[in-house]
Each structure stands twice: as C-alpha cells, then as structure tokens.
Amino acid sequence: MGQKGEETRSRLLDATQELIEGGGYFGAGLNQVIAASGAPRGSLYFHFPGGKDQMVAESVRRGGREIGRAVGELAEAVPDTASLVVAVLTLLGDRLEASGWRKGCPVATVALEMAATSDPLQEVCSEVYDSWEGMLRDRLAADGHPEAGDVAVTVLALIEGALLLARAHRSREPLDRVARRIVTLL
C-alpha cells in the first residue's frame, strides 16, 4: 500500500476511534466515519473488507496500544506500582477532561455494547484488557507483590470504574479518590 493509502486508512481509523470513544459502537456509523475522515466511501471497503466490525476492532486495538505505550512510558519514570497507577489516573483524567468528558477508555464502550453479541469485538476488547492487566501484573511482580495477578485485575477494575464514574459525573473526583486509595491498597 502506498503512502496515500496508508494516510487514508489512518484517517478512517482516527475517525472511527474518535467516534466510538465519544458515542460507542452505534455512534460510529459508516456515514459518520466517512464524513469525519473525509475519505471516499470506496476507501472504507478497500481498507476494511470486513466492514464496520473490522474497522472498530482495529480502532479498539490501536487505542489500546496507544494507552499501553503511554503506561509503559510512565512506568519507566516512576518508582513503584502505586505511583504508576496514580500517574495513569492523572493521564486518563487529563485526557477525559480535555475531550469534554467524551474520551474515557478506548475499549470500555465497545466492550459494554458489543461483547455479548460480537465474538470478534469481544475478543479484541479482551485482548486489550489482558495486555493492560499483564503490564500491571508484571510491574506488581517486579515490586515483589505476592498476589500480582489478583491485584492487577483489581487495579484495572478500579481504573475502569473510576473512568466511568468520572465521565458520568463530568468530574475528576472519582479518579482522584481512587488515586488516593491506590496508595493505601498497594
């Protein structure tokens, strides 16, 4: 694929990611993606022959990698898991607030809407959550935590829940409260 094709594909994924984060799977109709990306309709089917589900799956996977990279960078800059989780909550809170409370987790809305009815989308959501859980588990284990796996899933659930509450309340308070408790829990 040439540079122009890669740019078009990237614009389609950018638009899809923006739309699903703000309005979920059903808020990212093909017409909305085409309008937001500025790409011709034929490009959508050329780059994503599997249709909307393929495009959403790739957008979720891409969003998951972006968050994973950011968490990895933060992990290198902080001394322990508690500091890492506080930094992640701050990063996600900044992202959420800057987006007008639309961009929480790049996976959660699709998982909530589609995991029960679409095996391919459920698998992608599970894959991204597994990767994040693995990052937390590895950091906890490196810190010497004896129950790294159980604690990692607990921490991930706290982060996801705090994002959902922050978005619902349009307030950082749930994120700040979880950040304070994480230090005690870890």
Confidence check: pLDDT of 97 > 80: yes
- pLDDT confidence of residue 4: 76
Confidence check: pLDDT of 2 > 90: no
For the segment 141-153, what is each residue's pLDDT rounded down to a tens digit? 999 999 999 999 9
What the block records as the tokens of 136 is 């937390």
Average per-residue pLDDT in the chain? 93
Confidence check: pLDDT of 5 > 80: no
d(CA 24, CA 133): 23
pTM above 0.95, yes or no: no
For the segment 72-83, what is each residue's pLDDT rounded down to a tens digit? 999 999 999 999
For the segment 13-47, what is each residue's pLDDT rounded down to a tens digit? 999 999 999 889 998 999 999 999 999 888 888 99
Cβ-Cβ contacts under 8 Å for 85 (sequence gap 6 or more): 136, 155, 159, 179, 182, 186
- pLDDT confidence of residue 6: 85
- What confidence category does residue 89 fall into, taking pLDDT thresholds of 50, 70 and 90? very high
- Domains detected in the chain: 52-183 (1.10.357.10)
CA R_g for the chain: 17
Confidence check: pLDDT of 1 > 80: no
- What confidence category does residue 104 fall into, taking pLDDT thresholds of 50, 70 and 90? confident
Q: What percent of the chain has pLDDT over 90?
A: 84
For the segment 119-173, what is each residue's pLDDT rounded down to a tens digit? 999 999 999 999 999 999 999 999 999 999 999 999 999 999 999 999 999 999 9
